């Protein structure tokens, strides 16, 4: 757990009803369920180019939950604006995003590393570097490279797939709460040994 008691959680996705139910918005889904879990409410915040909710977790941790409304490939604009305004260090940022390289419903926590070709992470890397934390939400892979973008941004997951992704998101949110109340290592261990797909 970083020294700061102010944590930023950014859920990545694309704004608008056309994208709401697509796999690329899994980060939005996690943010929505985290805020609901902690009885918060999103409000539009123009200075952060997105929607923001403030929730308290435990006695002394406040989480600023951001859903950028800039479209995925401009996520860094919103996330960096939030961190700069509140003077939040990069290692107190947790980014939730869809992950092609994990099977549907698998979830993993990660600290640092490359962007893996993910456009949202790529744009966050530009102003902030790679030292932030991530929640990788498995959405599976369509099997062919040329199908990736329609798979992520146009095709809705099946009901079974959506249920698996949301179940993974709920497990991830439990792990986030554990991190905020204890340590990152304990959260990683609990999530990664919980028999996820």
The DSSP result for 68-133, as a single string, is E-S-GGGHHHHHHHHHHHHT--GGGEEEEEEETTS-TT-EEEEES---TT-HHHHHHHHHH-S-SE
Tell me how far apart the alpha carbons of residues 180 and 7 are, in angstroms, rounded to a whole number.
Answer: 9
Active site residue 38: no
- The rounded distance, in Å, linking the Cα atoms of 64 and 88 is 10
**Angstrom distance (rounded) from CA 160 to CA 168:** 12
Kindly name the residue from 24, 38, 118, 141 that is annotated as catalytic. Answer: 24
Distance from CA of residue 73 to its chain's centroid? 15
Q: Specify which residues 10 forms β-bridges with.
A: 66, 95
Residues with catalytic roles: 24
């Amino acid at each position: 757990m970083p020294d700061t008691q102010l944590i930023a959680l950014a859920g990545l996705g694309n704004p608008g009803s056309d994208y709401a139910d697509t796999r690329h918005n899994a980060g939005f889904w996690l943010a929505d369920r985290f805020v609901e879990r902690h009885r918060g409410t999103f409000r539009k915040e123009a200075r952060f180019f997105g929607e923001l909710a403030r929730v308290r977790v435990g006695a002394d941790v406040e989480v600023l939950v951001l859903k950028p409304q800039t479209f995925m490939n401009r996520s860094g604009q919103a996330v960096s604006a939030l961190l700069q305004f509140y003077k939040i260090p990069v290692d107190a940022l947790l980014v939730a995003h869809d992950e092609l390289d994990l099977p549907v419903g698998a979830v993993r926590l990660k600290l640092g590393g490359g962007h893996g070709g993910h456009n949202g992470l790529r744009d966050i890397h530009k102003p902030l570097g790679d030292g932030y934390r991530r929640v990788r939400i498995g959405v599976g892979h369509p099997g062919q490279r040329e199908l990736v973008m329609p798979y992520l941004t146009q095709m809705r997951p099946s009901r079974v797939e959506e249920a698996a992704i949301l179940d993974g998101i709920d497990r991830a949110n439990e792990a986030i709460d554990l991190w905020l109340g204890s340590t990152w290592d304990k959260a990683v261990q609990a999530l990664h040994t919980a028999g996820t797909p």
